[in-house]
Amino acid sequence: MFNERYMKVENQKVVTLEYDLYVDGENGQEEMMEKATVEAPLVYCHGEGMMLPAFERAMEGLAEGEAFDFRIPCEEAYGEYDTDGVLQLDKKMFYNGDGEFDSERVYVGAIVPMNTVDGQIINAQIAEITKDNVTIDLNHPLAGENLHFVGKVLNVRGDIIPATSQVITLFARMQDGTIVRGESNIPNISNRIREVFYEEKVSAIELLEIATENGKKMCRIFCSSFCVALPNYFSCF
Protein backbone atom coordinates (compact mmCIF):
# COMPACT_ATOMS: atom_id res chain seq x y z
CA MET A 1 0.00 0.00 0.00
CA PHE A 2 1.30 3.44 -0.91
CA ASN A 3 1.70 6.12 1.71
CA GLU A 4 -1.20 8.58 1.62
CA ARG A 5 1.26 11.46 1.76
CA TYR A 6 2.04 10.85 -1.92
CA MET A 7 -0.11 12.77 -4.35
CA LYS A 8 -2.34 10.76 -6.66
CA VAL A 9 -3.01 11.30 -10.33
CA GLU A 10 -6.08 13.48 -10.75
CA ASN A 11 -7.22 16.49 -12.74
CA GLN A 12 -4.84 19.47 -12.87
CA LYS A 13 -1.91 17.50 -11.54
CA VAL A 14 1.45 17.42 -13.36
CA VAL A 15 2.37 13.76 -13.86
CA THR A 16 5.81 12.35 -14.72
CA LEU A 17 6.03 8.79 -16.06
CA GLU A 18 8.43 6.21 -17.38
CA TYR A 19 6.90 3.57 -19.64
CA ASP A 20 7.32 1.11 -22.49
CA LEU A 21 4.68 1.11 -25.23
CA TYR A 22 4.06 -2.18 -27.05
CA VAL A 23 1.87 -3.06 -30.04
CA ASP A 24 0.84 -6.42 -31.49
CA GLY A 25 3.60 -7.88 -33.65
CA GLU A 26 4.06 -10.92 -35.80
CA ASN A 27 3.56 -14.47 -34.48
CA GLY A 28 1.68 -13.14 -31.45
CA GLN A 29 4.76 -11.36 -30.11
CA GLU A 30 4.56 -7.74 -28.97
CA GLU A 31 6.87 -5.10 -30.43
CA MET A 32 8.12 -2.06 -28.52
CA MET A 33 7.13 1.14 -30.31
CA GLU A 34 8.06 3.84 -27.80
CA LYS A 35 9.96 4.26 -24.55
CA ALA A 36 10.02 7.01 -21.91
CA THR A 37 12.82 6.67 -19.38
CA VAL A 38 13.75 8.18 -16.02
CA GLU A 39 16.25 10.37 -17.87
CA ALA A 40 13.74 11.36 -20.58
CA PRO A 41 10.29 10.84 -19.03
CA LEU A 42 6.82 11.74 -20.24
CA VAL A 43 5.43 14.78 -18.43
CA TYR A 44 1.81 15.80 -18.92
CA CYS A 45 -1.00 17.72 -17.24
CA HIS A 46 -3.74 15.31 -16.25
CA GLY A 47 -7.25 16.23 -17.33
CA GLU A 48 -6.12 18.87 -19.85
CA GLY A 49 -6.88 16.72 -22.90
CA MET A 50 -3.23 16.18 -23.81
CA MET A 51 -3.45 12.39 -23.59
CA LEU A 52 -5.90 9.81 -24.89
CA PRO A 53 -9.06 9.72 -22.71
CA ALA A 54 -8.56 5.97 -22.18
CA PHE A 55 -4.96 6.61 -21.06
CA GLU A 56 -6.08 9.19 -18.49
CA ARG A 57 -8.82 6.88 -17.20
CA ALA A 58 -6.23 4.15 -16.64
CA MET A 59 -3.87 6.55 -14.83
CA GLU A 60 -6.54 8.14 -12.61
CA GLY A 61 -5.90 7.54 -8.91
CA LEU A 62 -2.39 6.09 -9.23
CA ALA A 63 0.16 7.36 -6.71
CA GLU A 64 3.78 8.40 -7.05
CA GLY A 65 5.96 5.29 -7.20
CA GLU A 66 3.12 3.04 -8.33
CA ALA A 67 3.55 0.72 -11.32
CA PHE A 68 0.98 0.33 -14.09
CA ASP A 69 0.26 -2.18 -16.84
CA PHE A 70 -2.78 -1.63 -19.04
CA ARG A 71 -4.02 -2.02 -22.60
CA ILE A 72 -5.99 0.33 -24.85
CA PRO A 73 -7.80 -1.23 -27.84
CA CYS A 74 -7.32 0.59 -31.15
CA GLU A 75 -10.93 1.84 -31.20
CA GLU A 76 -10.18 3.76 -27.98
CA ALA A 77 -6.73 4.81 -29.17
CA TYR A 78 -6.21 6.10 -32.74
CA GLY A 79 -8.91 4.11 -34.49
CA GLU A 80 -8.71 1.67 -37.36
CA TYR A 81 -6.46 2.42 -40.33
CA ASP A 82 -8.51 4.41 -42.87
CA THR A 83 -7.55 3.98 -46.52
CA ASP A 84 -9.49 7.18 -47.31
CA GLY A 85 -6.78 9.02 -45.38
CA VAL A 86 -4.24 8.22 -48.10
CA LEU A 87 -4.30 11.03 -50.68
CA GLN A 88 -2.43 11.74 -53.89
CA LEU A 89 -1.52 15.41 -54.34
CA ASP A 90 0.03 17.45 -57.11
CA LYS A 91 3.78 17.64 -56.59
CA LYS A 92 3.68 21.40 -57.18
CA MET A 93 1.98 21.80 -53.79
CA PHE A 94 5.36 21.01 -52.26
CA TYR A 95 7.44 23.51 -54.21
CA ASN A 96 9.50 26.02 -52.24
CA GLY A 97 9.77 29.77 -52.78
CA ASP A 98 12.23 29.23 -55.63
CA GLY A 99 9.71 27.14 -57.57
CA GLU A 100 11.56 23.90 -56.91
CA PHE A 101 10.42 20.73 -55.18
CA ASP A 102 11.34 20.94 -51.47
CA SER A 103 13.29 17.68 -51.30
CA GLU A 104 15.00 18.66 -48.04
CA ARG A 105 11.75 18.49 -46.09
CA VAL A 106 9.55 16.34 -48.34
CA TYR A 107 10.80 12.77 -48.70
CA VAL A 108 9.35 9.30 -48.15
CA GLY A 109 8.79 8.80 -44.42
CA ALA A 110 8.91 12.50 -43.54
CA ILE A 111 6.18 14.02 -41.38
CA VAL A 112 4.97 17.36 -42.73
CA PRO A 113 2.34 19.77 -41.34
CA MET A 114 -0.69 20.36 -43.58
CA ASN A 115 -3.37 23.05 -43.28
CA THR A 116 -7.02 21.98 -43.54
CA VAL A 117 -9.72 24.14 -45.14
CA ASP A 118 -10.84 25.31 -41.67
CA GLY A 119 -7.31 26.39 -40.68
CA GLN A 120 -6.36 23.44 -38.49
CA ILE A 121 -2.89 21.92 -38.75
CA ILE A 122 -2.57 18.15 -39.13
CA ASN A 123 0.42 15.89 -39.64
CA ALA A 124 0.84 13.92 -42.84
CA GLN A 125 3.41 11.25 -43.58
CA ILE A 126 4.94 11.18 -47.05
CA ALA A 127 4.17 7.70 -48.40
CA GLU A 128 5.33 7.98 -52.02
CA ILE A 129 6.85 10.50 -54.42
CA THR A 130 6.56 10.16 -58.19
CA LYS A 131 7.39 12.41 -61.12
CA ASP A 132 4.13 14.37 -60.85
CA ASN A 133 2.54 13.47 -57.48
CA VAL A 134 3.13 13.10 -53.76
CA THR A 135 1.11 10.55 -51.81
CA ILE A 136 0.44 11.47 -48.18
CA ASP A 137 -0.96 9.37 -45.35
CA LEU A 138 -3.12 11.23 -42.81
CA ASN A 139 -3.54 8.25 -40.51
CA HIS A 140 -1.86 8.41 -37.12
CA PRO A 141 1.28 6.20 -37.08
CA LEU A 142 -0.44 4.04 -34.43
CA ALA A 143 -3.77 3.77 -36.27
CA GLY A 144 -5.06 0.20 -36.18
CA GLU A 145 -2.82 -0.72 -33.26
CA ASN A 146 -3.80 -2.03 -29.84
CA LEU A 147 -1.62 -0.25 -27.27
CA HIS A 148 0.00 -1.86 -24.24
CA PHE A 149 1.56 0.48 -21.66
CA VAL A 150 3.87 -0.81 -18.93
CA GLY A 151 5.53 1.69 -16.61
CA LYS A 152 5.72 3.59 -13.35
CA VAL A 153 4.54 6.93 -11.96
CA LEU A 154 7.71 8.84 -11.12
CA ASN A 155 6.20 12.03 -9.75
CA VAL A 156 2.89 13.81 -9.20
CA ARG A 157 3.02 17.55 -8.59
CA GLY A 158 0.46 20.08 -7.41
CA ASP A 159 -2.35 22.03 -8.97
CA ILE A 160 -2.04 24.03 -12.18
CA ILE A 161 -2.72 27.73 -11.56
CA PRO A 162 -3.22 30.22 -14.44
CA ALA A 163 -0.43 32.80 -14.58
CA THR A 164 -2.58 35.34 -16.42
CA SER A 165 -6.27 36.12 -16.73
CA GLN A 166 -5.91 37.19 -20.38
CA VAL A 167 -7.18 35.20 -23.35
CA ILE A 168 -3.94 34.65 -25.25
CA THR A 169 -2.71 32.69 -28.27
CA LEU A 170 0.58 30.85 -28.16
CA PHE A 171 2.79 30.57 -31.25
CA ALA A 172 5.75 28.26 -31.84
CA ARG A 173 8.53 28.68 -34.37
CA MET A 174 9.93 25.30 -35.39
CA GLN A 175 13.51 24.54 -36.37
CA ASP A 176 12.59 24.60 -40.08
CA GLY A 177 11.00 28.05 -39.74
CA THR A 178 7.38 26.85 -39.69
CA ILE A 179 5.17 28.92 -37.36
CA VAL A 180 2.41 27.03 -35.56
CA ARG A 181 -0.55 28.94 -34.08
CA GLY A 182 -2.42 27.68 -31.02
CA GLU A 183 -1.46 25.65 -27.93
CA SER A 184 -3.38 22.55 -29.02
CA ASN A 185 -1.67 22.45 -32.42
CA ILE A 186 1.95 22.59 -31.21
CA PRO A 187 2.21 18.99 -29.87
CA ASN A 188 0.82 17.71 -33.20
CA ILE A 189 3.84 18.90 -35.19
CA SER A 190 6.67 16.41 -35.53
CA ASN A 191 9.47 18.95 -35.49
CA ARG A 192 11.80 20.49 -32.94
CA ILE A 193 10.72 23.78 -31.38
CA ARG A 194 13.08 26.73 -31.75
CA GLU A 195 11.03 29.15 -29.65
CA VAL A 196 7.54 29.85 -28.35
CA PHE A 197 6.08 33.35 -28.22
CA TYR A 198 2.99 35.53 -27.96
CA GLU A 199 2.13 38.24 -30.48
CA GLU A 200 0.39 40.34 -27.84
CA LYS A 201 1.73 41.69 -24.55
CA VAL A 202 0.88 39.37 -21.67
CA SER A 203 0.38 40.68 -18.13
CA ALA A 204 0.87 38.31 -15.20
CA ILE A 205 -1.51 38.13 -12.27
CA GLU A 206 -0.25 40.72 -9.76
CA LEU A 207 -0.24 38.47 -6.71
CA LEU A 208 0.10 34.69 -6.73
CA GLU A 209 0.82 33.00 -3.41
CA ILE A 210 0.64 29.24 -3.17
CA ALA A 211 1.24 27.76 0.27
CA THR A 212 2.46 24.16 0.35
CA GLU A 213 1.89 21.77 3.23
CA ASN A 214 5.17 22.66 4.91
CA GLY A 215 4.41 26.40 4.74
CA LYS A 216 6.88 27.26 2.00
CA LYS A 217 5.70 29.35 -0.91
CA MET A 218 7.10 28.07 -4.14
CA CYS A 219 6.05 28.18 -7.76
CA ARG A 220 7.83 27.81 -11.02
CA ILE A 221 6.85 27.88 -14.67
CA PHE A 222 6.17 24.41 -15.96
CA CYS A 223 7.35 23.59 -19.46
CA SER A 224 8.59 20.32 -20.95
CA SER A 225 9.19 18.95 -24.41
CA PHE A 226 5.85 17.17 -24.27
CA CYS A 227 3.81 19.75 -22.38
CA VAL A 228 5.19 22.79 -24.19
CA ALA A 229 1.63 23.86 -24.94
CA LEU A 230 1.20 25.16 -21.41
CA PRO A 231 3.83 27.86 -20.76
CA ASN A 232 1.16 30.23 -19.42
CA TYR A 233 0.56 27.98 -16.39
CA PHE A 234 2.37 27.66 -13.10
CA SER A 235 3.06 24.28 -11.56
CA CYS A 236 3.01 24.63 -7.79
CA PHE A 237 4.93 22.25 -5.56
More confident residue, 170 or 157: 157
Quick: pLDDT tens for 8-33: 999 989 999 999 999 998 888 999 99
Ordered domains of the chain (ranges, CATH): 83-137 (2.40.10.330)
Quick: pLDDT tens for 160-212: 555 666 677 878 887 777 788 877 777 666 667 777 777 777 665 554 444 34
- What is the mean predicted confidence (pLDDT) over 115-123? 78
> Does the pLDDT at position 41 exceed 70?
yes
Give, in order, the Cα–Cα distances in Å from 62 to each of 24, 89, 138: 26, 46, 34
Quick: pLDDT tens for 45-83: 999 888 999 999 999 999 999 999 999 999 999 999 999
More confident residue, 115 or 219: 115
> Which pLDDT band holds residue 7 (cuts at 50, 70, 90)?
confident
Q: Indicate the average pLDDT of the chain.
A: 80
Judge contact between 181 and 169, C-beta under 8 A.
Answer: yes
Max Cα–Cα distance, the chain, nearest Å: 67
Q: How much of the chain exceeds pLDDT 70, in percent?
A: 76
Judge contact between 219 and 208, C-beta under 8 A.
Answer: yes
